[in-house]
Amino acid sequence: MHMADALLSPAVGAAFWAGTVGTISYCSKKLTDTMEEKLIPLMGVLGAFIFAAQMINFTIPGTGSSGHLGGGMILAVILGPYAAFIVMASVLTVQALFFADGGLLALGCNIWNLGLYPCFVAYPLIFRPLAGSGGSRRRLTIASLLGGVVGLQLGAISVVIETLLSGRSELPFSTFALLMQPIHLAIGVVEGIVTAGVINFIRAARPEILEGSLSARPLSAHLPIKKVFIGFLVAAVLTGGVMSWFASSNPDGLEWSIQKVFGRPDLPGQTSGIAHALKSIQEKTALLPDYGFRKADDDKGRASATSVSGLIGSALVLAGVLLIGYIIRALRRKSA
Amino acid sequence: MFDEGYFNLGYLDTLSYKNTFVHRLDPRAKLIATVAFVVTVVSFPKYEITGLLPFFLFPVLLFSLGDIPVKFILKKVLLVSSFALFIGIFNPLLDRQIVYSCWGFPVSRGWISFFSIMLKFFLTITSALLLIATTSFPGICHALRKLGVPGIFISQLLFLYRYLFVLVEEAMKAVRARDMRSFGRQGKGMKTFVSLVGTLFLRTVERAERIYQAMLSRGFSGNLHLMRPHRVSGADIVFLSSTMVLLYLFRVHDVVGAMGSLSMGTF
């Protein structure tokens, strides 16, 4: 499920963009260091393949609905995590631009949710150990099924967390998670079965394509566990920072979720630490001085002050905007 | 549905080759302006409605100056699978505190925040589509390259885009063949799908190998070189700076309120 701009706050969007850009640069560096350049056209065309394959539907037995192929797992198995992440990022970028799936700010979150978890969590920690050397068809099936399911579950919980941190939705954490996880479990199982089928098909027809990812090769070498942990640590600090920042500046949005975690509406010790540091940086560099740290009464927005004058003003602004567009269009027609 | 998706893809691409004032602007200027627009719109608090209205000026200007068909884009925006709608609709159910009544209709805070989410959704999605309709995809890639995105990722985007149309057409042929051989839902199951996609994959890999050989024989050494001299012109600077100033003014000042009290004062 694609995250949407409208549900994000700028800080959360920017934090996930930072994580995504960092991962893309890391993967690019990794690839330029070890790459046989043969991979460049293969990656590009495989991106187009994922795109095309996702447009093909199939009917899910027992239900009337239709499913399609999920990309991350299959790419990781064929290309290894680094190249797969880059390909997934490119597919999502094109989707965001041409199909408006999510939007530009949410693209960072989407690449993170749908690329990072399958490539850097599900593939090295679940697929690789389970698939072994790829000798047995059953092991390969189980590995891709479980890998797909876990990757999608992590992506779904990540969507929940991003939405909650942004504070635009009223959904409480437990309800939201209970809504998202089962849906994505069902989707994950179906996608996993299909992924397993395609991987087995490839293994039967061109086993040498999978050899690279199943036997250790420098490109898809085992991801060092230490780096994974450092990555998670950075992510945790980042999320923690954003969360406390928001909790201290925007109380009405996150109050309830903080309340659940800490048992009271405010975070302990927010006058020191990262939230405080971020706040002072923000205050010093504020481009939009009233954004982010507005007073509580201002936070209801201008809408609550709506009166007759507000309604008239709205109508005037909209009419003015449309009139400008109409005039430009008319002038263009005339000159053309 | 498949054919329509493909048609839309191709049509958006065609739109980006028009030659208007907006199309001639430097891709970097348009990319930065769009991103600034999206961030500013999203930065409004949860219960903001009137503050968002002046921002409709940006898409309206791009539509009219760029000569982009409004109906086509709006249809795409409405058809987009809306996660925002799915999540936002819970707000009126969960937040029922009545804030004021509008001609006797009680309006709850939940409806205000829901409407705010929908406005933001419309503005951000429209501006993303307008970006691609007024700037070609290769143009955006060049802009990203100039802005410091790693070269591998740019080659990846350009390659993906180049072969997208080829592979989608190939997939479309396969789907048509499957549809002609199946009756209703029969024959469209997973088994057929797996071998269909598997075959498509094998053809893709073989194509990649041919492409690689063709590239090698033309002296490919790992880098794609881009030739498109983009120079920042006066129009770009004017466009970008006026966008920034307007975004700032609309964000900080209550335009709707000012218009309202102004009109109340005159009458």
Tens digit of each residue's pLDDT (9 = 90 or more) over A139-181: 888 988 999 899 989 998 999 999 988 888 888 888 888 888 8
Give the DSSP letter of residue A66: E
- Say if A329 is an interface residue toward chain B (CB within 8 Å): yes
Q: Which chain A residues are Cβ-neighbours of B183 within 8 angstroms?
A: none
- pTM equals 0.78
From chain B residues 18-57, the ones with a CB under 8 A of any chain A CB are 34-35, 38-51, 53-54, 56-57
- Say if A9 is an interface residue toward chain B (CB within 8 Å): yes
Angle at A56 between CA A54 and CA A58, to 5 degrees: 115
Q: What is the pLDDT of residue A298?
A: 43
- Say if B77 is an interface residue toward chain A (CB within 8 Å): yes
Average pLDDT, whole number, for chain A? 73
**Higher-confidence position of A258 and B3:** B3
Q: Which amino acid is at B103?
A: W
Q: Give how far A308 is from chain B: nearest CA, Å.
A: 8
Minimal Cα distance from B126: which residue of A? Answer: A100
Q: What is the pLDDT of residue B227?
A: 61
Q: Which chain A residues are Cβ-neighbours of B76 within 8 angstroms?
A: 99-100
In tens, the pLDDT along B21-74 reads 888 888 999 999 999 999 999 988 888 888 899 999 999 999 999 889 998 888
CA gap B55, B94 in Å, rounded: 28
Q: Which helix (H) or strand (E) holds B203?
A: helix B190-217
- Say if B167 is an interface residue toward chain A (CB within 8 Å): yes
CA gap A70, A81 in Å, rounded: 15
Q: Which chain B residues are Cβ-neighbours of A163 within 8 angstroms?
A: 87
Query: Is the model's pLDDT at B235 over the cut of 70?
Result: yes
Q: What is the pLDDT of residue A307?
A: 61
Minimal Cα distance from A318: which residue of B? Answer: B53
CA gap A94, B173 in Å, rounded: 22
How far is the CA of A320 from the CAs of A4, A201, A313, B74, B257, in angstroms? 29, 59, 10, 20, 14
How much of chain B, in percent, has pLDDT values that exceed 90? 16
Residues A168 and A253: beta-carbon distance below 8 Å: yes
Give the DSSP letter of residue A113: I
Q: For the stretch B100-129, what's the b/e string if a residue is b when 16 or more beta carbons lie within 10 angstroms of its beta carbon? A: eeeeeeebbbbbbbbbbbbbbbbbbbbbbb
Query: Is the model's pLDDT at A251 over the cut of 50?
Result: no
Structure tokens at A261: 């975690």
Query: Is the model's pLDDT at A258 over the cut of 80?
Result: no
Minimal Cα distance from A254: which residue of B? Answer: B46
> Where does residue A169 rank: exposed (0-12), middle (13-18), buried (19+ CB within 10 A)?
buried
Q: What is the pLDDT of residue A303?
A: 43
Count of CB pairs separated by less than 8 Å, A with B = 374
How much of chain A, in percent, has pLDDT values that exceed 90? 12
Query: Is the model's pLDDT at B113 over the cut of 80?
Result: yes
Q: What is the pLDDT of residue A65?
A: 63
Instruction: Quickly count: other Cβ atoms within 10 Å of residue B64's Cβ.
Output: 22
Q: What is the pLDDT of residue A225?
A: 52
Name which of A215, A212, A222, A205 is nearest A79 in CA terms: A212
In this prediction, residue A296 has a pLDDT band, given cuts at 50, 70 and 90, of: very low
In this prediction, residue A224 has a pLDDT band, given cuts at 50, 70 and 90, of: low
Q: Give how far B105 is from chain A: nearest CA, Å.
A: 14
* Beta-carbon separation of A169 and B195 below 8 A: no
Minimal Cα distance from A20: which residue of B? Answer: B149
